[in-house]
Amino acid sequence: AKYCWVDKDTCISCGACGATAPDIFDYDEEGLAEVAFGGDGNQGVTEIPEEMFEDMQDAADGCPTDSIKVADSPFRDLLEK
């Protein structure tokens, strides 16, 4: 399984991720990107379906500030450890 999360502390609102993977990313009221897929609310706890892996990876690779994080387990678990 893959999970995705945007580090808003480093996102510069460049907009590349939403253009690359509009099904996964959306922007908050400040224009910062967040993972919106499945109502995730940028918690990084919603499993990203396999058919979206390519878009997700392209977005992560294309982010100029490396703000898009991808992991094999939910981010909330990682944060709690």
Binding residues for ligand F3S, rule: CB under 6 A, are 6, 11-17, 33, 63-65, 67-68
Residue 30 or residue 51: which is nearer to ligand F3S going by CB? 30
Residue 31 makes CB contacts below 8 A (sequence gap 6+) with 13
CB of 29: closest distance to ligand F3S in angstroms? 14
CB of 13: closest distance to ligand F3S in angstroms? 5
What b/e readout covers 55-78, taking b as 16+ CB neighbours within 10 angstroms? bbbebbeebeeebbbbeeebbeee
Helix (H) or strand (E) holding 32: none
CB of 6: closest distance to ligand F3S in angstroms? 5
Please, are residues 35 and 42 in contact by the beta-carbon 8 Å criterion? yes
Residue 14 or residue 70: which is nearer to ligand F3S going by CB? 14
Residue 2 or residue 81: which is nearer to ligand F3S going by CB? 2
